[in-house]
């Protein structure tokens, strides 16, 4: 259900959301202002986040067709996690840039995209610095003198990373090397060692020698480094780590050998999460129904299919939000109109003449625009939200706000060019038309 009660919103948050929609993008923040129809997930997901903050670990699979709002959903959930003081990372899975079967690359992208409530990507260095500060504070609180501090911090480092060092001793070695380089005022070496700790390849040999580490991070070492990162996050005051592996359905389009390796890596990740190896981790993947149900996806690996099996044969109203796999219903005409009304009200709150925005772009006009955009996409409303919101903000609301005599019913005809469509939207649109012009009633 849509909550129409006015909520105070800062100008900066409003601008961030509106600017993203104008570009046809999912906002990086402020998604709580747009969330419609997600209320039924809130209680179960908040309980899972609280459990992870208490030392548990959770794996979640999000299922939805293209355009159903999977990216929106995961960013919305990531914002809820960040408000609980989680660190957050969103990773796009792709064959060339981030293949899932190479976990060392996934880990590297994680550290590159790592963000917290206080720091944008990459927040790895602030997190590590905060960890060493916490170790120093703990050592001083235990009675260590200034002269004893380096030795006591080393003891705490060994103790806190004891479990991690069983699997990835080089993680602790790199942290020592980073701290030593800082103490010597060698910023270049410190930065290089931290890059190696973040999984970056081709770090200078001199920096690796200084830290006592060798080579580059590999597939198996990545899991140990993830375990170490979780320890550092927890000890530096963070509740946990929320990670999204987005668009895993791209695995269906890679070579069969790479696909099999990726599916097995996913199975391994799920098992490691469920084994309790990664306390403080909330791991989410997103994919289409074809990925979860098709023979080129999850069903190709029986053990993985068993782990993700979820009953979706009942009425969607009774879907279990606590299940390992949850489905997003996608947009209907009514929910698309409701979202448009929410955006119109958000926009009006920061406009020079909010009453005019509300009267000229009334609910009936928003419904007309939603139908027209859906019609331009072959009647497939489920893939329409991005384009609908882009047109509503950039073509309609901006003009009404800036030109007193602009009336979208008289002065605007929806035009959809192939060049502004995503691949999915283009497939949904009429295949023979370069431009589709629709006069709104």
Mean pLDDT within 188-214: 95
Q: Residue 379 pLDDT > 90, yes or no?
A: no
Q: Examine the pLDDT at 377 and tell me if it is beyond 60.
A: yes
In terms of pLDDT, which residue wins out, 163 or 403? Answer: 403
Answer yes or no: is pLDDT of 422 > 80: no
Percentage of the chain lying above the pLDDT 70 cut: 92
User: Given pLDDT bands bounded at 50, 70 and 90, which one contains residue 411?
Assistant: very high
Q: What is the mean pLDDT of residues 166-195?
A: 94
What is the structure's pLDDT at 381? 65
Distance CA 232, CA 238 (A): 9
pLDDT band at 428 (very low <50, low <70, confident <90, very high): low
pLDDT in tens, 263-276: 999 999 999 999 99
- Tokens representing 362? 């009334």
Using alpha carbons, select from 242, 124, 122, 118 the residue that is nearest to residue 174.
124
- pLDDT value at residue 423: 67
Name the pLDDT band for 391 (thresholds 50, 70, 90): very high
Nearest to 213, CA basis, from 226, 204, 191: 204
**Tell me: the pLDDT tens digits for 138-166?**
999 999 898 899 899 999 989 998 988 88
> Residue 165: what pLDDT?
87
Q: Is the pLDDT confidence value at 1 over 50?
A: no
Tokens linked to 319: 């879907």
Span 361-372, mean pLDDT?
A: 92
Closest-CA residue to 345 (of 393, 412, 407, 406)? 393
At 360, give phi and psi (nearest 5°).
-75, -45
* DSSP code for 423: H
pTM of the model: 0.86
Q: Does position 356 have pLDDT exceeding 80, yes or no?
A: yes
Record the tokens describing residue 169, joined without a space: 């001793």
């Amino acid at each position: 259900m849509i909550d129409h009660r006015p909520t105070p919103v800062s100008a900066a948050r409003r601008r961030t959301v509106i600017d993203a929609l104008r570009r046809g993008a999912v906002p990086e923040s402020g998604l709580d202002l747009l969330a419609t129809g997600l209320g039924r997930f809130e209680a179960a997901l908040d309980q899972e986040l609280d459990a992870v903050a208490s030392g548990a670990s959770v794996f979640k699979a999000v299922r939805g067709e293209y355009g159903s709002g999977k990216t929106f959903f995961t960013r919305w959930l990531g914002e809820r996690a960040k408000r609980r003081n989680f660190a957050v990372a969103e990773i796009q899975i792709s064959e060339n840039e981030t293949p899932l079967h190479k976990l060392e690359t996934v880990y590297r992208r994680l550290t590159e995209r790592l963000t917290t409530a206080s720091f944008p990507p990459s927040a790895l260095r602030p997190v590590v610095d905060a960890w060493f500060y916490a170790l120093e504070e703990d050592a001083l609180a235990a009675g260590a003198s200034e002269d004893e501090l380096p030795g006591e911090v080393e003891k705490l480092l060994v103790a806190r990373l004891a479990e991690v060092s069983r699997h990835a001793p080089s993680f602790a070695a790199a942290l020592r090397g980073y701290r030593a380089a800082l103490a010597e005022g060698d910023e270049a070496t410190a930065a290089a060692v931290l890059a190696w700790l973040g999984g970056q390849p081709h770090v200078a040999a001199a920096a690796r020698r200084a830290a006592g580490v060798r080579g580059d991070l590999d597939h198996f070492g990545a899991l140990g480094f993830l375990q170490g990162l979780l320890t550092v996050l927890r000890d530096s005051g963070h509740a946990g780590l929320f990670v999204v592996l987005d668009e895993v359905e791209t695995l269906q389009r890679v070579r069969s050998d790479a696909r099999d390796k990726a599916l097995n890596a996913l199975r391994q990740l799920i098992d490691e999460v469920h084994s309790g190896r990664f306390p403080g981790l909330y791991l989410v993947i997103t994919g289409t129904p074809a990925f979860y149900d098709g023979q080129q996806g999850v069903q190709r690996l029986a053990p993985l299919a068993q782990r993700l099996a979820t009953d979706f044969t009942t009425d969607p109203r009774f879907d279990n939000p606590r299940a390992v796999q949850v489905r997003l219903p996608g947009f209907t005409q009514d929910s698309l109109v409701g979202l448009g009304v929410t955006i119109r009200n958000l926009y009006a709150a920061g406009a020079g003449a909010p009453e005019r925005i509300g009267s000229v772009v009334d609910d009936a006009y928003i419904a007309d625009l939603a139908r027209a955009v859906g019609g331009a996409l072959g009647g497939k409303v489920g893939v329409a939200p991005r384009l609908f919101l882009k047109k509503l903000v950039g073509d309609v609301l901006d003009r009404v706000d800036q030109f007193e005599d602009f009336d979208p019913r008289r002065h605007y005809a929806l035009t959809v060019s192939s060049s502004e469509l995503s691949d999915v939207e283009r497939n949904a649109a009429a295949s023979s038309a370069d431009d589709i012009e629709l006069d709104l009633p």
